[in-house]
Amino acid sequence: MEFQAFNLHPVIAASIKEAGYVTPTPIQQQAIPTVMQGRDVMGLAQTGTGKTAAFALPILNRLMEGPRGRVRALIVAPTRELAEQIHESFGTLGRQTRLKSVTVYGGVNANPQIQSLKNGVEIVVACPGRLLDHIGQGTIDLSHLEVLVLDEADQMFDMGFLPDIRRILSHIPAKRQTLLFSATMPPVINKLAHDILTDPVTVQVGNTAPPVTVSHALYPVEQHLKTGLLLELLQHTDTESVLIFTRTKHRAKRLGEQLEKAGYKAASLQGNLSQNRRQAALDGFRDGTYQILVATDIAARGIDVSQISHVINYDIPDTPEAYVHRIGRTGRAAKSGDAFTMVCNEDTIMVRTIEKKLGAPLERRTVAGFDYTVPAPKKDAEFARPPREPRPTRKPAVAKKSSVGSINPFKSDHPGSKPAGRPQQGRPAAAGGTPKPVFNSSRRGK
């Protein structure tokens, strides 16, 4: 099947060609004709399957006809990164359509958003919090809305956005086309779908299994040896672009610093960063300035770097769904990728749950030459670090007073996030003896 079969508007067909898409992905084959018919759709697809174009193409096609300068399509997404990525896809696929899209999310000045909305746009890609602010302040007019897309609905639920979604729904026309995409279908999303979709067609790809192009491996290791093992893995693996996941923001920040100290071009992406710094980390990862990005699940949501060669779970995720999401970052759109997960004894149950979900056992690997017998340092066994020489004692630093009570202009769009700029405990990163990175760009399987 080819894209011509959809009979899309010629300027859209031209952009598809320019984007280098030749064959529609399975979700696109199923969803595009259905959305073009005006039907509501329940899309069960993980990230990396081409689901953005599956809704963006028929929306662009629809908007070619009819009035301009009013909001006719609204896409709601859980994170700013995903919103930006969707906005970019609309930009790429709608390059010659003269349709305009704007992103709306918190953590940045609202005025440019207000100005764009005033100037007239047809497509809004929004995170729930800031969108509600605009609705409340009357700076967005959704009365002409024709299509609503809820993307990554399960993640929006995980992030506590469901009440916001319901509020948004009460402010938009009841007569509309609604598309709901989710990688998983927990009962609460099933109920939401039941409530808001009219006679929906369900389109589904895979069974929330990660892309088949990804090879998985587990690396059993004690908690305190994780960083050492990671450095060893990086040194001996032909990696091009590595996304590393940690359990907490703090661990992401510290691991990013440790990798930098070890000579890698690494950055961390976590919710405590300002929007500018998040964007700089993402852009740097995308353009190759950083070869390693360390991130938490929430921060990494929506990252689309098509050449990610490896995903490394420094910490195992909390759910099998999160595992699938993370692994979906590599092997995107049929590129091959490797996924390594470090596991400790306490992760046994989660490993079993993930294997059950995947329907196959995961390969256990050890790294030859790595000393797995190094004992844990007495303190701070939680964060892995090779034992180091004691440092000369210093005067304790005087803690600076932080300014409290002022309005934080970088208020996040994530309900669970804390204000930025909390002072970190300044611990030194991994001590010497760290290997030099060996990045080989001639990776197989590209």
Q: Which residues are near ligand AMP by CB under 6 A?
A: 21, 23-25, 28, 47-53, 304, 306, 332-333
User: Nearest 5 degrees, angle CA 217-CA 219-CA 222?
Assistant: 160
Give φ, ψ of 28 to 5 degrees: -70, -40
| Rounded distance between C-alpha atoms, residue 120 and residue 140, angstroms | 10
Beta strands in 188-297 (DSSP E): 201-204, 214-220, 242-245, 266-269, 292-295
Closer by beta carbon to ligand AMP, 304 or else 413: 304
Q: How far is the CB of 18 from ligand AMP (least distance, A)?
A: 12
Q: How far is the CB of 19 from ligand AMP (least distance, A)?
A: 7
| Rounded distance between C-alpha atoms, residue 277 and residue 246, angstroms | 19
Token match 């280098």: residue? Answer: 20
| Rounded distance between C-alpha atoms, residue 338 and residue 330, angstroms | 7
Closer by beta carbon to ligand AMP, 11 or else 333: 333
Closer by beta carbon to ligand AMP, 41 or else 225: 41
Structure tokens belonging to residue 177: 């086309």
Closer by beta carbon to ligand AMP, 134 or else 329: 329
Closer by beta carbon to ligand AMP, 20 or else 432: 20
| Rounded distance between C-alpha atoms, residue 367 and residue 28, angstroms | 40
Structure tokens belonging to residue 423: 């002072």
Structure tokens belonging to residue 120: 């007239």
Q: How far is the CB of 240 from ligand AMP (least distance, A)?
A: 16
Tell me the one-letter amino acid at 2.
Answer: E
| Rounded distance between C-alpha atoms, residue 298 and residue 104, angstroms | 18
Q: How far is the CB of 332 from ligand AMP (least distance, A)?
A: 5
Closer by beta carbon to ligand AMP, 23 or else 137: 23
Q: How far is the CB of 366 from ligand AMP (least distance, A)?
A: 33
Closer by beta carbon to ligand AMP, 93 or else 316: 93
Closer by beta carbon to ligand AMP, 25 or else 30: 25
Closer by beta carbon to ligand AMP, 28 or else 270: 28
Tell me the one-letter amino acid at 245.
Answer: F
Q: How far is the CB of 412 from ligand AMP (least distance, A)?
A: 23
Q: Quick one: which of 190, 208, 411 has its CA closest to 326? A: 208
Is-contact 126 83, C-beta < 8 A?
yes
Is-contact 335 304, C-beta < 8 A?
no
For 159, the 3-state DSSP assignment is coil
Q: How far is the CB of 197 from ligand AMP (least distance, A)?
A: 21
Closer by beta carbon to ligand AMP, 140 or else 298: 298
Q: Quick one: which of 135, 130, 136 has its CA closest to 110? A: 130
Q: How far is the CB of 212 from ligand AMP (least distance, A)?
A: 15
Q: How far is the CB of 323 from ligand AMP (least distance, A)?
A: 17
For 135, the 3-state DSSP assignment is helix
Q: How far is the CB of 339 from ligand AMP (least distance, A)?
A: 16
Closer by beta carbon to ligand AMP, 149 or else 298: 149
Q: How far is the CB of 304 from ligand AMP (least distance, A)?
A: 5
| Rounded distance between C-alpha atoms, residue 102 and residue 84, angstroms | 9
DSSP assignments along 45-94, one per residue: --TTSSHHHHHHHHHHHHHTSS--SS--EEEE-SSHHHHHHHHHHHHHHT
